[in-house]
Each structure stands twice: as C-alpha cells, then as structure tokens.
Amino acid sequence: MTNGHVNPAKGLETQGIEGLGNVYYNLIEPALMEQAVKRGEGKIGLGGTLLADTGVHTGRSPKDKFVVRTPLVEDTIWWENNKPMTPEAFDRLQADMLAHMQGRDYFVQDLYAGADPAHRLDVRMVTELAWHALFIRHMLRRPERSELDAFEPEYTIINCPSFQADPERHGCRSGTVIALNFDKKLILIGGTEYAGENKKSVFTLLNYILPGKGVMPMHCSANHAPNDPTDAAVFFGLSGTGKTTLSADPARTLIGDDEHGWSDTGSFNFEGGCYAKTISLSPEAEPEIYATTTKFSTVIENMVTDPETLELDFEDISKTANMRCAYPLHFISNASETGLAGHPRNIIMLTCDAFGVLPPIARLTPAQAMYHFLSGFTAKVAGTEKGVTEPEPTFSTCFGAPFMPRRPEVYGKLLQEKIATHQASCWLVNTGWTGGAYGVGSRMPIRATRALLTAALDGSLNEVEFRKDPNFGFDVPVRAEGVAEVLLDPRRTWGDKEAYDRQAAKLVKMFADNFAQYVPYIDADVKAAALG
C-alpha cells in the first residue's frame, strides 16, 4: 500500500520490497513532523522544532560498519580499515530485514547527494522512523517536485532501527549493523536510532565512487568570499574540531558544513543541510546556528529541555555531549543557493590538540600539508562515538578514516594534485588546548581562531613575520592583529616549560610512529616533511 505526496514511477515494489504497510513517498516537512508526533517518535519544541531522542545510541557505531567483500571491490577497498562481510551473510541480513519490515509503515525520501549535477548521486532513503526521513530530507539535496516523477535511485539505503541483527547468522558484531553492498547498490542499517548513520553512509558511498571520476571527496566544511565564489576555502576536520562553527562566518558565504567534492571544474557541497553540535552553543559566538534551534522543522537531537517551557539546555550533557540539531542550509542567511564554488584558494586543516602542543595556526608547504592530511591528528570529542566520555588523542587519516573505503594514499594523491594544480595555500589550525594539556590548560579562544582565519583567508597573514616551529618544522606567525602574541607560541603559555618540551616530544613521536605506515606509498618530498 502506498501513500504520500509524490509516488515516483519506480516505487519500492519495483525493487522487490513488498508486503509493507503504508509507504509514504516524499512527504514534506509538516507532514513528516505530524507523523513523527503521531507515532510518538518526538514532540514539538519551541518555534516548531522537532525534539527527538536516539535511545541507547547517541553517536555512530563504527565498529558495527561492514563492507560486503566481492570481486567488484576486492582490490579497491582498504580492508585494514573496513570490516568485511560475506555476500552470503549480507543476503541473509537482507532477507531477514525485509521479513521484519512486513506490515510496517515506512517513509521514502528520494534525494540528491551532490550539488554538481555532473557528479551527484541519486539516493533513495527508506526509513522506519518519520523523524529520520525529516532528518535526511534536511541533510541531502531535495529535487524539484517535478523531478520526482521520473526519479530512479542509483543507491538505496534501508534503515530499520527495530531490527536486531544476529552476529552468527549475519556475520556482524552485535545487534547493530551498517552493511554496504556496492554490487547491489544497497545499504542496510539496523539496531540503531542514531540519525547520523544515514548521512555518513551516503558520504561513504561518495568517498568510494568519486575518486574513480577524478573527484576528491572531502570531510570538510567550505565557504567563499561574498559575491566571489572563486575565492573558496575548505576546512578539513573531524567532528568537534569546529568545521560547522568556523565555516559559518557571517563575513563569507557558506557553501556547506561537512562534506564536499573537488572536481576539475571547482568545489561543490554534497549536502543540503547542516548537522551541528549544540553543546555550549551561544547566541553570541554562533548566532546563526543558535537561531536554527527555534526554527520550524529543525530536528533537535538528544537535548534536555525544561519540562514546562521546553527551553533547551545547551549545557546539560546528561543524555550525551553529542547533542545536535539538523536543519536545511537555507536556514543560514549567508548560505550559498547553489552549493557550488570555484577551486579552493585556501585549505584549512582543523585539529583539536588535547596535548596543548600545537600553535593556533601554522602555514604548511604542500608536502607538509600531505603529511598532516594523511596523519589526520585530532582528539575524539566526548559523545561523538559510543563510549568516548572525554577527549582522546587519535590519528584519523584524511580527517575522516571511518568514512574512507579506499586506501588513504588514493585521497592524499588526489588532494596533492589539486593543491599543486590550483596553487592553494594550506594552513593547520588548532582549536584544541593551550596553556597545558586537556584537564590543565584551557580551550583555544574562538575569537583568536576567527581572527587568525580571517587574516589567512584575506591574505594579510602571509605578510607578517614567521618563525620555524622546532617540533614540526612548519611556519608559525610571530604576531597577528587581534591575537595575543603569547598565544602564538604554545610553549610560552605553559607555566612549566620543561613539561611542554616533554609533551611536544611525545606528540612528535606519536606522529612519526603513526606515519610509518604511509612511508612506502608517498613521494620523496612528503617523506622529507615526515622526517622534519
């Protein structure tokens, strides 16, 4: 049985998915909110937001993610980073999930992943929860209503949180499973209500498909100068490093906050919305993002509210530190209407250094940029993944290892080629700790970070005096307008200078030990950067 506003020419029955209850195709935001409330999935918050909880999973479950191992992908998947599943186990999983879905209502959203028509992916999301359909409708790009009549999905994602996988029968680790089958062009998600699995599954697809077309997929936010899409900047970084906050600069046009591609013709957003962390969100520091938390249809995820007034508590992390809001890109007043821009002039690599060693900004040579891109040093921020309760130092290659199906060198070489071809400037920005490690020092002042980024993007930072960092060899500005000089030299911010030296030596060794795995695959200049 079908229901909804637009039934595409090729519905679920043409994909062999039959026997369901009501199937709601391409409902728009008010209808999805009505269904979510009616079904007890959430409630209406201030301004017409939707308040939803994700249950026991308040972050991604990377250990439960699998790629089906077939001859088609055998030689191109980075198996050391991607857990394999046999085709037979996937077939059992698919059959059992479809049997579980019988008679239940489902919500279908047909969407585009990618603002560039030449490289976009047509994705069908089939969700058990109405609020998941609302979430992914925000996160991906919405076709015109007339385009839906002939929509044919290239990939289908089925998300069934009430289904529990059987590790022995389905070749997985637990009752939670995220399984990608590139042969069948199908992703199955079960046993988790965390909405972020939906968007990151699409990102993983694009990370596999686009390099084959010479397009660099990037876990980054992006913006460009006002009225000048040719002056673009991208901000690499894992969750919690400041991608969303720093790219939402009111003085620049926001292209997107998390996932982008870099093709031969320029850069483009994969998504149509933003998924912002709301912990300690304030109207002073992030006014545009803060304003979305009272806008109609914004999904508010895992936030504590006042039981009477429904006011949001941005400091209460009793549910999770990974509380978030999801909203369409047009909720940000300076967002790009097209999601398209030119070739990036500036590459920003964001790191959250829990050791308190790195300076707030450093200028990188192309070889140093490759070193830090492949290293992907940061700290896992509390709540982003299940079981992480405080920042932990980690190396996540390409600033997104959990979403990288191919080997890191594939992405590294693509980025290296594009930086060389288009002469992009590269910067490493630390949004982590200063004056000491986590627990002793303090978080880098966001005003200082913004001032340094502004100077880097407008070119004025290149005109100041630089010093050579003794630990990593990159250039660090000696002074910058609006930033205390002491902040630019992390050693000076520590009360115990010898403790800083020990911590710096420890971090340098961690970098070297981690990077040893890439040495056989990289060029001589990058090796030289690795050796200092």
253, 249, 256, 288: which is closest to 275 by C-alpha? 256
Judge contact between 136 and 63, C-beta under 8 A.
no
Residues annotated in a binding site for substrate: 60, 194, 200, 324
Task: Please report the sign of the dihedral spanned by the C-alpha atoms of residue 518, residue 519, residue 521, residue 525.
Answer: positive
Residues annotated in a binding site for Mn(2+): 200, 219, 258
Tell me how far apart the alpha carbons of residues 244 and 492 are, in angstroms, rounded to a whole number.
Answer: 30
Tell me how far apart the alpha carbons of residues 455 and 69 are, in angstroms, rounded to a whole number.
Answer: 47
Residues annotated in a binding site: 60, 194, 200, 219, 237-245, 258, 286, 324, 449
Tell me how far apart the alpha carbons of residues 48 and 272 are, in angstroms, rounded to a whole number.
Answer: 20
The active-site residue out of 224, 324, 386, 413 is 324
The active-site residue out of 120, 219, 252, 413 is 219
Tell me how far apart the alpha carbons of residues 391 and 352 are, in angstroms, rounded to a whole number.
Answer: 9
For residues 323, 326, 332, 338, the Cα torsion angle rounded to the nearest 10 degrees is: 140
The active-site residue out of 49, 61, 156, 239 is 239
Judge contact between 132 and 162, C-beta under 8 A.
no
Judge contact between 97 and 127, C-beta under 8 A.
no
Tell me how far apart the alpha carbons of residues 438 and 380 are, in angstroms, rounded to a whole number.
Answer: 12
The active-site residue out of 69, 200, 260, 386 is 200
The active-site residue out of 64, 231, 258, 469 is 258
266-269/340-341 β-pairing: antiparallel
The active-site residue out of 243, 343, 372, 406 is 243
219 is catalytic: yes
Distances (CA, A) of 210 to 405, 411, 420: 11, 10, 20
Phi, psi of 474 (to 5 degrees): -85, 170
In angstroms, how far is CA 255 from the centroid of its own chain?
Answer: 14
Q: Could you tell me if residue 208 is left (phi over 0), alpha (psi between -120 and 50 degrees) or otherwise beta?
A: alpha
Q: Which residue has the tokens 């991608």?
A: 243
Single-letter residue type at 425: S
Judge contact between 483 and 452, C-beta under 8 A.
yes
319 is catalytic: no
243 is catalytic: yes
What token pair was written down for 481? 């307008």
Number of neighbours of residue 167 by Cβ within 10 angstroms: 13
92 is catalytic: no
324 is catalytic: yes
The active-site residue out of 49, 57, 58, 60 is 60
450 is catalytic: no
Residues annotated in a binding site for ATP: 200, 219, 237-245, 286, 324, 449
Q: Which residues are catalytic?
A: 60, 200, 219, 239, 243-244, 258, 324
